[in-house]
């Protein structure tokens, strides 16, 4: 059985994408763990000081930091979910195919964004 085409190149193998996704997954997990530790530290600092966000001049800063780190952690969780989804696509043979048009996703795009779901042409504008 022939290997699936990845980025339009037949026989490119799955070791490269699998390794790239595994490395991206490890980075995402490490980032998430660091953000969760930071969030815990901010919560502990606010609790230890007994700040009142409304009346303490430092309270607004702590509230901002807490929400900022929470948003970064949410983004890290979303990135991790995208990586997990890419690993699932790799396992079931759909990795490297655009989810919108079905065309092969270019090798360069997959190298830059291993969890990419779409080709460049179908990527939503931001």
Region of 102 please: left (phi>0), alpha (psi -120 to 50) or beta.
left
Residue 50's pLDDT is 55
Say which residue, 3 or 79, is predicted with more confidence: 79
Q: Which pLDDT tens digit goes with each residue over 83-118?
A: 999 999 999 999 999 999 999 999 999 999 999 999
Residue 63's pLDDT is 82
Q: Which pLDDT tens digit goes with each residue over 15-60?
A: 789 999 999 999 999 999 999 999 999 888 777 665 555 555 555 6
Contact 82, 116 (CB under 8 A): no
């Amino acid at each position: 059985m022939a290997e699936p085409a990845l980025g339009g190149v037949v026989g490119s193998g799955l070791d490269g994408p699998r390794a790239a996704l595994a490395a991206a997954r490890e980075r995402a997990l490490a980032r998430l763990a660091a953000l969760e530790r930071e969030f815990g530290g901010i919560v502990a600092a606010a609790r230890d000081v007994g700040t009142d966000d409304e009346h303490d001049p430092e309270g607004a800063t702590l509230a901002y930091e807490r929400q900022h780190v929470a948003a970064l952690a949410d983004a890290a969780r979303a990135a991790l979910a995208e990586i997990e989804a890419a690993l699932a696509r790799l396992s079931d043979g759909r990795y490297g195919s655009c989810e919108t048009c079905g065309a092969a996703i270019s090798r360069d795009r997959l190298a830059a964004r291993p969890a990419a779901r779409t080709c460049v042409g179908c990527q939503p504008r931001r």
